[in-house]
Amino acid sequence: MRLTLEFGGGLELLCDSEKIHKVNVDLPNGAAAADDFTMKHLLSWVRTNLIKERPEMFMKGDTVRPGVLVLVNDCDWELSGQLDTTIEEKDVIVFISTLHGG
Amino acid sequence: MDDIVKMIGLKNNCTFCGVFRRQALDRGAALLKVDKLVTGHNADDIAETVLLNILRGDIARLSRCTSITTGEDGPIPRCKPFKYTYEKEIVMYAYFKKLDYFSTECIYSPNAYRGFVREFIKDLERLRPRAILDIIKSGEDFRIATTTKMPEQGTCERCGYISSQKWCKACVLLEGLNRGLPKMGIGRPRGVNGDHKKDTKKPGPAVKSIESKQCGSLDFQNFGN
C-alpha cells in the first residue's frame, strides 16, 4: 500500500531528518487485510522501519506519545477513531510533535 | 548559555536561562520604550506553571501566574493573550497556514522539572482534554490566606530593578557566575553571603562578564518565570 508520511515539529530528527517519506507498506497477514489496515498497524510499521533513534519520543505503548498530533488526510485522527482509523491507498498521514521548548 | 552550563553543570539550567532571558526582554523593552510586552505563553504553559508552583510550594508565584496581565502598575505591563489557547490548536493552525516556526528542543535540560509536569498534563489531556482549562480555572480561583507571609516588593541594591530580596535574582546569579560560585542563588535561600564551599578560584574559563549597568531609579517588574 503506497502512503505518504510526513513528520514535523521536531519528529523528523528521529527519521534521519527527512520530513517526507513516500513508503510502500506491506499489509500484515495476507491481502484480505486490505480493509483492516488501521493506524495501529501503521504505527508499529513506522516504529520498526522509519524511527531510527529514541522511539520513546514517538510512541508510548501502543499509541503515539501524548503531545504528538496525527492528521490523516488533513483530518485529526481523533475524529476518525484514533488507532482504529482505516488507512487506504495514497493516504497522507502527518505526525506533528507539539512539544517544544519555551 | 554554553558557557554558563560549562560552569554550573546540567542541573538548574532553567533558572539561569529563564532569569537572564527575562531580564534581557525587560531591558530590551525599556530601550525600545514600548507600551506593553506580550509573550506567547499558551494554555499548556499556564497549566504547567500552576502545577509546578503547587509542587514546589511557591505561594507567591501561584497567586500571580494565572493573571493574564501582570505589572499593570509598572511602566511596562506584560500580557499573555494566548492564555486559553491550547498548544495543539496553535500547532494545527501553524500547520494549515504553513507558518514557519522553530521547534527545536532545549538541549540543556532534559531532566528539567517542568518536563515531568508536561508529561503528566499531556496524559491528562489525552484522558479528558478539558483538564487543561480546568487547571487554569482552579489556579485563577485560588485565594491565599491573609495570614500567609508573602515576599515584599523592594528594589535591588545592585541594579535598581524590582526585587523581593536584597539583590534581584539576576544580580545574584551573575555575581555567582563571576565569582566562580555556581551554586549561588540556587536552592533554599541562605542569604547573599551564605555558607558555600570555599571556592575562590578565578571565575570559570570563558564566562563573559556581562556587566549590568546601573539602572538608577528605573522601576521594572521583574517577577520570575
**How many whole angstroms separate alpha carbon B42 and alpha carbon B57?**
22
Report the pLDDT value the prediction gives residue B220, as an integer from 0 to 100: 41
Report the pLDDT value the prediction gives residue A35, as an integer from 0 to 100: 73
The pTM score is 0.77
Mean pLDDT highest for which of A27-36, B60-69, B143-152? Answer: B60-69
**How many whole angstroms separate alpha carbon B135 and alpha carbon B44?**
10
Alpha helices in chain B (DSSP H): 2-8, 13-32, 43-56, 59-64, 87-96, 113-127, 131-141, 169-179
Chain B residues whose beta carbon lies within 8 Å of the beta carbon of residue A74:
96
More confident position, B117 or B7: B117
For residues B38-49, average pLDDT = 94
- On whether any CB of chain B is under 8 Å from the CB of A59, the answer is no
What ipTM does the predicted assembly reach?
0.84
Report the pLDDT value the prediction gives residue A33, as an integer from 0 to 100: 57
Q: Is the pLDDT at B60 greater than 90, yes or no?
A: no
Report the pLDDT value the prediction gives residue B189, as an integer from 0 to 100: 55
pLDDT band at B188 (very low <50, low <70, confident <90, very high): low
Q: Is the pLDDT at B162 greater than 80, yes or no?
A: no
Report the pLDDT value the prediction gives residue B224, as an integer from 0 to 100: 43
The answer to whether B121 touches B47, Cβ cutoff 8 Å, is yes
**How many whole angstroms separate alpha carbon B15 and alpha carbon B205?**
21
β-strands A20-24, B78-79: how paired? unpaired
Residues 6+ apart with CB under 8 A from A70: A39, A64, A76, A77, A82, A93, A94, A95
As given in the structure block, the three cell numbers for residue B125 are 489531556
More confident position, B208 or A68: A68
pLDDT band at B143 (very low <50, low <70, confident <90, very high): confident
Report the pLDDT value the prediction gives residue A32, as an integer from 0 to 100: 54
Among candidates A76, A88, A83, A72, which has minimal Cα distance to A33? A88
Report the pLDDT value the prediction gives residue B109, as an integer from 0 to 100: 73
* Partner-chain residue, chosen from A10, A66, A76, that has the shortest CB–CB distance to B122: A66
Q: Is the pLDDT at B14 greater than 90, yes or no?
A: no
pLDDT band at A29 (very low <50, low <70, confident <90, very high): low
Is A74 close to B41, i.e. CB distance below 8 A? no
Is B91 close to A96, i.e. CB distance below 8 A? yes
As given in the structure block, the three cell numbers for residue B191 are 542569604
Report the pLDDT value the prediction gives residue B154, as an integer from 0 to 100: 81
* Partner-chain residue, chosen from A9, A66, A74, that has the shortest CB–CB distance to B123: A66
Chain A residues whose beta carbon lies within 8 Å of the beta carbon of residue B119:
66
- On whether any CB of chain B is under 8 Å from the CB of A83, the answer is no
Percent of chain A with pLDDT over 70: 91
